[in-house]
Amino acid sequence: MNLNLEVLYQAVHDLSFAVYVGTLVYSEFVLEPAASAVAPAQGAVVRRRAGERHMLINWSALLLLLITGVLRLGYMNLLAFPGTFFLTTRVASSAYGRTIFTMFGLWCVLAALGLLMTFALRPVLIGKIDPTLTSSERERRQQRMVSAARMMTIVMRADLAIAVVIAVLGVSLGSGGLI
């Protein structure tokens, strides 16, 4: 039974990682070039539709990574409340513990970037431009959309880079941690 749980936590952790990084890679290298190759209005529709699903899938994967990561630590008896933050004091002062803390900190950065995209950038991108606005207001609105789109691209690339760093740290845990 215990062995099955361990395998289950690892399988879900690894699948979530594959989905999280896979969707970002697909977006950057497949979807975005395709959306840029068609008329801007059509590209905007494709990005909007794809963005809705991307957001749902990536939030689910990110939460599953945290949950299964913590469950794996619990399974290995490394969690402690009170301990050093959430790890046993012995492990917290080892390379393994420092690597876990770094992964957790970077996970928080991914969550913060996710909040920025979901609640600040996406609403600007999916908003419609009211035709009754004056031309200068319409232009301002279009400018905001263009800046939000640029910002979204930068944030998604940063997201991908951070996720890859966390994955390298995760793999290093198998040989005692990297930091």
Using the structure block, give the residue that is written with the tokens 């990682």. Answer: 17
Contact 89, 80 (CB under 8 A): yes
Nearest-approach distance from CB 163 to ligand HEM, in angstroms? 4
| Of residues 127-156, those binding ligand HEM (CB under 6 A) | none
CB contact burial 9-36 (16+ within 10 A = b; e otherwise): beebbeebbebbbebbeebeeebbeebe
Closest to ligand HEM by CB, 58 or 122: 58
CB contact burial 45-62 (16+ within 10 A = b; e otherwise): eebeebbeebeeebeebb
Q: Three-state DSSP class for 81?
A: strand
Nearest-approach distance from CB 47 to ligand HEM, in angstroms? 23
Token representation of residue 95: 């390379």
Cβ neighbours of residue 87 under 8 Å, at least 6 residues apart?
73, 78, 79, 80, 97, 100, 101
Nearest-approach distance from CB 2 to ligand HEM, in angstroms? 15
Residue span 84-123 as binding mask against ligand HEM, x where in contact by CB under 6 A, dash where not: ----------------x--xx--x----------------
Cβ neighbours of residue 61 under 8 Å, at least 6 residues apart?
16, 17, 19, 20, 23
Nearest-approach distance from CB 119 to ligand HEM, in angstroms? 20
Closest to ligand HEM by CB, 44 or 173: 173
| Of residues 27-66, those binding ligand HEM (CB under 6 A) | 65-66
Closest to ligand HEM by CB, 45 or 63: 63
Instruction: Out of 45, 129, 161, 171, point to the residue binding ligand HEM (CB under 6 A).
Output: 171
Q: What does the binding site for ligand HEM look like in residue numbers (CB under 6 A)?
A: 10, 13-14, 17, 20, 65-66, 69-70, 72-73, 100, 103-104, 107, 163, 166-167, 170-171, 173-174
